[in-house]
Amino acid sequence: MHVELHPRFANTTVGQTAKALTSACVHCGFCLSTCPTYLDKRDERDSPRGRIYLIKHLLESGGASAQTQLHLDRCLTCRNCETACPSGMQYGELLDIGRGLMEQQAPRSVVSRSLRWLLRVVLSRPQLLTTALVLGQTVRPLLPTRFRRKIPERQQPGLLPIEQHTRSMLLLEGCVQRAATPNTNAAARRVLNRLGISLIAAPQAGCCGAVNYHLGAHADGLDNMRRNIDAWWPYIERGAEAIVSSATGCGAMLVDYGRLLAADPAYAEKARQVAELCRDLGEILLQEDLGALAINTQVGKVAIHTPCTLQHALRQPQLLTTLLERAGFDIARNTQKLLCCGSAGTYSVLQSAISERLLATTLCSLTSDQPALIATANIGCQLHLQSAAGVPVVHWIELLDKS
């Protein structure tokens, strides 16, 4: 697809990058049948190809209409289209650029701006989120069902090990996960401790930057990344083997640090090294002797939910299945390929109707073999699935924690 850049973008790095990315699309349409929003709306503008055309129009006209905003907002950023594209289209990167430019060109209503700002402020600050969650959990029993099911029940993290091993790795604690399901990181620490690895959290590290960046607030997102690099650097210099993410949504952002900070001379090299050190928790466990954990696998059938970020951003579609099969769990059959569950960061709040329909489809598929529980790898998906699932939805590391 050829793009004639508007003079406003012609001499900019983002303009040239977007032009190069767009040129990969050959209009074939193979991606349409893999796109959850196209399957839901049956509107070309809610397909990957349609959105690429909308971004091309933005790049050529120098402006974005309300229609462009509507259809780019409806994209889940699931990147299913990216792994389906025979032409190697890097849709996620193009969408981020398109959204960033759109925020500058198309004004939003006060209500929309306020809601997006509130989400960015609350979700990227674990302390604030924890306070909001505790308040919600206190009044939870009084709320109507449709609100109650959105607030997770309070969870106890259990005992933490004393970190004393020679081998050490850094843990990205995340924002929502730290507040809503503290047992996930605690379980990760206990499991790695039994394998002789200390999992350390740098106190100054915080949000990975995904919330800000994917909502078009690129400068704030990049600041989050720089803060994390500064917090981790002393540990990296002291020999931390890896930076471990236990939420695939955060992990998908971490592996992009090098690319996103490439133009910042003060951080480019450090960001590249940080991105190289990033590992999903599952990748770490796959290299270890799971037999040493003496796991209790008698939990009934486990349905595996592989988040989009693990499938299409981290490109590890079989990781969870391989890991849980190797650990000895009875895996529920799933005959259908899973599309996005509708969680998608802040999507379940900003596009709740489509999100609920995708949730129902995903749960229908996940529970077709009547599992005892569902295991996933991303906090957003876990909370979204749990809001309507009739069985417990856990992070898979909690299964490995039971011996």
Q: Which of 19, 49, 270, 305 is close enough to bind ligand SF4 by CB under 6 A?
A: 49
For β-strands 167-172 and 243-245, DSSP reports them as parallel
Q: How far is the CB of 260 from ligand SF4 (least distance, A)?
A: 18
- Secondary-structure percent of the chain, ordered helix, strand, coil, rounded to 5: 55, 5, 40
Q: Which of 309, 280, 306, 323 is nearest to 171 (CA)?
A: 280
Q: Is 179 in the site for ligand SF4 (CB under 6 A)?
A: no
Cβ pair 59, 6 in contact under 8 A: yes
Of 74, 22, 77, give the one whose Cα is nearest residue 45: 74
Q: Measuring CA to CA, which residue among 197, 133, 209, 132 is closest to residue 170? A: 197
Binding segment (CB under 6 A) for ligand SF4, from list 33-41, 108-116, 278-286, 354-362: 33-41
Q: Give CA angle at 213 (254, 344), nearest 5°.
A: 80
The pair of three-digit structure tokens given for residue 307, joined into one six-digit string: 């988040």
Secondary structure (3-state) at 170: strand
Q: 384 is written with which tokens?
A: 């979204």
27 binds ligand SF4 (CB under 6 A): yes
Q: Binding segment for ligand SF4 among 26-34, 259-267, 283-291, 369-377 (CB under 6 A)?
A: 26-34
**Binding letters toward ligand SF4, positions 83-122, x by CB under 6 A:** --x-x-x-x-------------------------------
The piece of 47-55, 120-128, 170-178, 210-218 that touches ligand SF4 (CB under 6 A) is: 47-55
**36 scored as a contact of ligand SF4 (CB under 6 A):** yes
Rounded to whole angstroms, the Cα distance separating 360 from 202 reads: 38
Cβ closer to ligand SF4: 94 or 171?
94
CB of 339 to ligand SF4, least distance (A): 8
Binding to ligand SF4 in span 311-350, by CB under 6 A = none
CA distance 163 to 141: 38
User: For ligand SF4, which stretch binds (CB under 6 A), given 43-51, 148-156, 231-239, 350-358?
Assistant: 43-51
Give Cα separations from 158 to 183, 185, 199, 386 (angstroms): 7, 10, 16, 21
Q: Interacting stretch for ligand SF4, rule CB under 6 A, among 4-12, 19-27, 234-242, 370-378?
A: 19-27
Q: Which of 20, 26, 134, 364 binds ligand SF4 (CB under 6 A)?
A: 26
Tell whether residue 77 is a contact of ligand SF4 (CB under 6 A): yes
- The helix (run of H) or strand (run of E) holding residue 393 is strand 393-395
25 interacts with ligand SF4 by CB under 6 A: yes
If one asks whether residue 78 binds ligand SF4 (CB under 6 A), the answer comes out as yes
**How deeply is 263 buried, as exposed, middle or buried, from its count of CB atoms within 10 A (0-12, 13-18, 19+)?**
exposed
Cβ closer to ligand SF4: 31 or 129?
Answer: 31
Q: Which region among 76-84, 129-137, 257-265, 356-364 touches ligand SF4 (by CB under 6 A)?
A: 76-84
In the β-sheet with 393-395, what is the strand arrangement from edge to edge?
302-304, 373-376, 393-395
Report the alpha-carbon distance of residue 231 to residue 226 in Å, rounded.
9
For position 45 contacting ligand SF4 by CB under 6 A, the verdict is: no
Question: Nearer Cβ to ligand SF4, position 36 or 345?
Answer: 36
Which residue in 103, 104, 87 sits closest to 22, CA to CA? 87
Using rule CB under 6 A, residue 76 touches ligand SF4: yes
Should residue 279 be labelled a site residue for ligand SF4 when binding is judged by CB under 6 A?
A: no
Q: Total number of residues binding ligand SF4 (CB under 6 A)?
A: 25
Q: Given the complex with ligand SF4, which of 43 and 269 has the nearer CB atom? A: 43
Binding residues for ligand SF4, rule: CB under 6 A, are 25-31, 34-37, 48-49, 51, 75-81, 85, 87, 89, 91
